[in-house]
Structure 1
């Protein structure tokens, strides 16, 4: 999805990380289920997050990626929910700042549901 919008040569790698279980609040524990498989040493890296709220997931992934020694590392987030921030995270590019409400749709889920919705909605 993102690569179609880029006007420059780029390689995509995927990271699977989460701090949410079946609820609407972060568990506080970040689970890194899948990390980058290719080499990113001395390369420019842009991490793209769907949402940054507590900041713990972005912080954990950023820390792990920095250990891989990229030439540069920037963070982009479609949604930023600063009201729930628990740790400092520098977001270099943000789409929207949202209020302290749980959101679903456009890839965001609640207990595995609603991810397929074509738009972003507030739950409750």
Structure 2
């Protein structure tokens, strides 16, 4: 396995993916929430501005992980672009593309951890 220079940041990404895979509309949320997941996955990495492949060896272990992150980011950033940064969480979670986020996040989480994320 590739040595990861920033294991704590990687752990944040894995936590973000777990959150995104589990969030459902109209269900109460606790900390960490959608806000933290977006913060860890996008704000802390700048992956909305550069290719996740640039972080192989620092946060990610492989091209497969980078591609999976990109597949998660594509629908997520599209939703964020559609709704802006301050919409209520349920607006994001009921967006027509939200199912793409949960599916991609679950797949990426499994790839990065080797574990299947339990479904609520």
Structure-1-length-normalised TM-score: 0.30
The higher relative CO (CA closer than 8 Å, separation ≥ 6) is in 2
Larger Rg: 1
Structure-2-length-normalised TM-score: 0.30
Question: If each structure's helix is expressed as a fraction of its own residues, which one has the higher value?
Answer: 2
